[in-house]
Amino acid sequence: MTLGYALTIGVFIGIFTILTVSLNILTGYARQVSLGHAAFFGIGAYSSAILAVKCGLSFWAALPITIVITALVGVFLGLPSLRVSHDFLVLSTIGLNFIVVAIFNYFPFFGGSMGIIDIPMPRLLGRPLSNLEYFILTLSLVFLTVLTSYYLSKTWGRLAMEAMGEDEVAAKSMGINVPKFKIYAFAISSAYAGIAGSLWAHYVGSVFPHNFSFDRSVAILSMLVFGGMGTIRGAVFGAVLLRLIPEFFRFVENYRMLIYGGLLVLMIMFQPMGLLGKGSFIWNGIESLLSRLRSRGMRAVE
Amino acid sequence: MKGILETHDLSKHFGGLKAVDGVDLQVAEGEIHGIIGPNGAGKTTLFNLITGYLKPTRGRIWFKGRRIDGLGPHRIVKLGIARTFQIVRPFTELTVLENVLVAWGYRYYDTGKVFWGRYGSAREEGLKILEFAGLKERRNLPAGALPIGLQRRLEIARAIALNPSLLLLDEPAAGLTEEEITQLKELIRKIVAQGLTVILVEHRMRFVMDICARITVLDRGRVIAEGQPREIATDPKVIEAYLGVSKEAKGVTS
């Protein structure tokens, strides 16, 4: 494996890490299970692509605008969640994914099935970023995503989202405006997905409708469920592991969807909290190991 | 002085069913007010109307002289009415302390601090409330792991964290042992001693008669009696509603 190839894999792992961490806010904290996250990803990618190619904006200018656009679209696409919940919400997010892809496909403004091409590499100091620099950019945005969503996980808003996710009736009696917090969850989650979309568009250099189809949403949700829904560590771990496995076992590539689907079923049956989620086998083991080490350390100090 | 809570002609009809029908209720500040009645009398529906979970078909509700009918639950909470549920609804996956903090957060949910302030900063206040409710030792347990008696206690603790002036308890003694009921009485008296007003719906007669200053009796959505526990216990209409009167007996009396 050459360095360039490793960096490329790194960029894609980074993009998917941002996607799973963002889905974690919506599905892990607020329990709004979405099988349409690729739609938000796609809206981010198309926004950034159009801003760059048609409006001539630089990546640096397009990125913040993309975040605002995807947050606003998130508000709009979150509206169905105010009417439907649980299984029906899942169905409607699938529907939204298909609608968004169809819009990319049929409206000439979005380039139809020919997509949008010639999206320029971001430029810094008068020249385009190298592969290594783009990897560093991606890594920085992954850190930004992880740090800000870690901060968010400590706020009142996260507590309200979790309470609402578990029991809407009880949440209302705690002064939580349930519709507002659902929309918050969609908007925040979507805004982060916009960052991932922007990174994708400028790295790959083109966007096509099929890049953001339903199977991608399944993949993102699988990563989150696999790693551990409701935790940032789980989201990161799931994305890294499920993106890496196919790189080491090439033959897996063709069966990727089969494996994602199979993993999703197995995890939900045997480890619904994911590999590193709250209360999973592995995480319980790590926690007891840590506390044992800590108490031993204490004794050593004494 | 007017009551802290008043309803006038309050009604809720579900199709042809008059679950609550023309209820005039007056609750004085600082008292424990019981609402009793046979199954299906409309007690929980009345609670749902007062707390905004249901919109009245007809009638009005005043809280501290302010109209509150038609407001949503989360807005009524902010005005100072907290409630518990007949079937307990703790946030089972959150810890006991986090459950109380969810309630404490009502101060922030509609402010700019919602995604800025850390909920951990209210830990001390949360622990104080848990101590008051006798749950401090279990603060780190998931709420779902508590036995039913303590889950009811947790719901009351959550409600207190909302800093209400009026607390509505929906069958707080249901499913509790005699010992737990004694503890519950103590807790409710402690709450009233803090200046809160309590309305409770309850089936356990001895409990209600013992703790309430006034009692309203509902039957088929209407108020059939109101007064002090002693008056209620001997009211023939109340006895009839609970035990029923045979047609022959009716014939004799009328």
Q: Are the beta carbons of B105 and A156 separated by less than 8 Å? A: yes
Q: Which CATH architecture describes the domain A3-270? A: Orthogonal Bundle (1.10)
Q: Are the beta carbons of A174 and B102 separated by less than 8 Å? A: yes
What values do phi and psi take at A24, rounded to 5?
Answer: -60, -35
Across the range A3-13, mean pLDDT stands at 94
Across the range B223-231, mean pLDDT stands at 93
**Could you say which of A167, A169, A177 has the minimum Cβ distance to residue B110?**
A177
pLDDT digits (tens, 9 = 90+) for B97-137: 999 999 999 999 999 999 999 999 999 999 999 999 999 99
pLDDT value of residue B253: 45
pLDDT value of residue A278: 84
pLDDT value of residue B245: 64
pLDDT value of residue B1: 45
Q: Which helix (H) or strand (E) holds A265?
A: helix A256-270
Q: Are the beta carbons of A171 and B116 separated by less than 8 Å? A: no
The owner of tokens 């190991």 is: A289
Question: In CATH, what number does B5-253 get?
Answer: 3.40.50.300
- The angle, 0 to 180 degrees and rounded to 10, between the axes of the packed helices A37-53 and A3-23 is 120
Q: Are the beta carbons of B106 and A175 separated by less than 8 Å? A: yes
Q: What angle do CA B99, B100, B103 make, to 5 degrees?
A: 100
**A32 to A179, A180, A213, A230, B132: CA distances (angstroms):** 12, 13, 19, 12, 35
> What's the CA gap between B33 and A73, in Å, rounded?
49
Q: Which helix (H) or strand (E) holds A69?
A: helix A59-77
**Could you say which of B78, B119, B159 has the minimum Cβ distance to residue A159?**
B119
Residue B247 has pLDDT above 70, yes or no: no
pLDDT value of residue B228: 94
Residue B225 has pLDDT above 90, yes or no: yes
pLDDT value of residue B169: 97
Across the range A221-230, mean pLDDT stands at 93
CB contact, 8 Å: A157 with chain B? yes
**Could you say which of B77, B117, B120 has the minimum Cβ distance to residue A174?**
B77
Bridge-based pairing state of the strands B58-63 and B5-14: antiparallel
> Mean pLDDT, chain B, as a whole number?
92
**Could you say which of A156, A167, A170 has the minimum Cβ distance to residue B114?**
A156
pTM: 0.92
For residue A123, the distance in angstroms to the closest alpha carbon of chain B comes to 33
Residue scoring higher pLDDT (B206 or A251): B206
CB contact, 8 Å: B72 with chain A? yes
> Mean pLDDT, chain A, as a whole number?
93
For residue B92, the distance in angstroms to the closest alpha carbon of chain A comes to 8
Q: Please report, for chain A, the start and end positions of each structural domain, with discontinuous segments joined by +.
A: 3-270, 276-302
Bridge-based pairing state of the strands B81-83 and B166-170: parallel
Residue B254 has pLDDT above 50, yes or no: no
Q: Which helix (H) or strand (E) holds B181?
A: helix B178-193
Q: Per DSSP, what are the bridge partners of residue B218?
A: B223
User: What string of H, E and C letters represents the secondary structure of A131-154?
Assistant: HHHHHHHHHHHHHHHHHHHHHHHC
For residue A86, the distance in angstroms to the closest alpha carbon of chain B comes to 17
3-state class (DSSP) for residue A123 = strand
Q: What angle do CA B183, B185, B186 make, to 5 degrees?
A: 65
CB contact, 8 Å: B55 with chain A? no
Q: Which of B135, B160, B143 is nearest to B83 (CA)?
A: B160
Q: Are residues A45 and A212 in contact, defined by beta-carbon separation less than 8 angstroms? A: yes
> What's the CA gap between B192 and B197, in Å, rounded?
6
Q: Using an 8 Å CB-CB cutoff, list chain A residues near B120.
A: 154
> What's the CA gap between A129 and A120, in Å, rounded?
10
> What's the CA gap between A236 and A221, in Å, rounded?
12
User: In this predicted structure, which of A121-125, A271-275, B91-95 has the lowest mean pLDDT?
Assistant: A271-275
CB contact, 8 Å: A155 with chain B? yes
**Size of chain A, expressed as the number of residues it contains:** 302
Q: Which helix (H) or strand (E) holds B226?
A: strand B222-227
Where b means 16+ CB within 10 Å and e means fewer, B146-160 reads beebbbbbbbbbbbb
> What's the CA gap between A44 and A38, in Å, rounded?
10
pLDDT value of residue A260: 80
Q: Are the beta carbons of B109 and A177 separated by less than 8 Å? A: yes
CB contact, 8 Å: B66 with chain A? no
Q: Which of B56, B58, B48, B91 is nearest to B199 (CA)?
A: B48
CB contact, 8 Å: B80 with chain A? no
Q: Are the beta carbons of B102 and A152 separated by less than 8 Å? A: no
> What's the CA gap between B90 and B152, in Å, rounded?
8
Q: Are residues A232 and A146 in contact, defined by beta-carbon separation less than 8 angstroms? A: yes
pLDDT digits (tens, 9 = 90+) for A20-75: 999 999 999 999 999 999 999 999 999 999 999 999 999 999 999 999 999 999 99
Q: Are the beta carbons of A159 and B105 separated by less than 8 Å? A: yes
ipTM of the complex: 0.90
Q: Please report, for chain B, the start and end positions of each structural domain, with discontinuous segments joined by +.
A: 5-253
Q: Are the beta carbons of B158 and A163 separated by less than 8 Å? A: no
pLDDT value of residue A272: 84
Q: Are the beta carbons of B118 and A157 separated by less than 8 Å? A: no
pLDDT value of residue B248: 54
pLDDT digits (tens, 9 = 90+) for A138-164: 999 999 999 999 999 999 999 999 999
Q: Which of B14, B64, B51, B24 is nearest to B224 (CA)?
A: B24
Q: Is A65 exposed, middle or buried (0-12, 13-18, 19+ CB in 10 A)?
A: middle
**pLDDT band, very low/low/confident/very high, at B246 (cuts 50, 70, 90):** low
